[in-house]
Structure 1
Amino acid sequence: MEDMLRVGVIASTHGVKGEVKVFPTTDDAARFKQLKEVLLDTGKERLPLTIEHVKFFKNMVILKFKGYDSINDIEKYKSKDLLIFRENAVELGPDEYFITDLIGLEVMTDQGETLGVMKDVLETGANDVYVVELESGKELLVPAIGECILDVNLEERTMKIHLLEGLLEL
């Protein structure tokens, strides 16, 4: 499992005093209010940044980091990820998982047939949809609902699903 989880991506600067607009990649953008520090992944290194203040605007989070007081200090970090350590992540409820933990799971049916590997998770309005890359190379879209997802075992890196009628034919 990954030690670090992405909580957002710096989309652009906001004003000239070092604030940035962040696209949240977490289900609950309000969690930024509780965060004191994030790690900025520059691609070459991970810089610890202390959050000075948080605001919200439409679907974005506006952050100000301590020590970054002008647009020139921060604009080079556009499109960079903001990470947190797993121990600072939100508490998950039953049958909730971090997407990064699901990617790569071996997916099999309740009949014991191996289908393929979990490739991606599409976040839709009603429920998530799991993208399974079949052994044939094609993709199978599985709704992340209780009727379909029977068991997720992160230790064994497996997921057992029930294929609803007609799902594989699509």
Structure 2
Amino acid sequence: MTGDPADSFIIRLARLEELPRLTEIELDAFATLADARGGSREAHALPESLLRQSLDDDLLFVAADKENQPIAFLAGTQSDEMLYIREIDVARAWQRKGVGRRLMATAIETARASRLRGVTLTTDRFVSFNAPFYARLGFSEIVDSDLVPELRKALHNEVSVGMGADRRVAMILRFT
């Protein structure tokens, strides 16, 4: 790849027939996260039903390469006047090229255009391309007492599948 990597992909809404590819991307990206955490926990992917819900809500975005094939995705859902980022994954070959940043910018822009109050997500507290990355985008940690039920449930579910409770954090980017 030559030139600016940002010129090598576009952001668009996902298509139904791309859902299997998005699962492949998520499983591929997991290897980078497992390496960063120093663990080998078994990879898992979002259930297709959650991807479909994001798709139906026009909150499933993909980064597509020059052949219009997905290389990354962001799945969101709207709740409590907030956009909740369920998942964001970038295929390993495309990591560290601004793809995740552009997907996040698209989600944030979509939330603002929809007049939502902000964007929330859950993530790993320590991995550099997780919480520290989101902090650079303007997100801040949500203290436990301020967690809405949906985020509390998301954190509980993440811990129940083996993610360390001390590593998980909910974050928010407030617009108002």
Given the two structures, how large is their TM-score scaled by the length of structure 1? Answer: 0.24
Structure number with the higher helix fraction is 2
More strand by share: 1
Task: Determine which structure has more spread, i.e. the larger CA radius of gyration.
Answer: 1
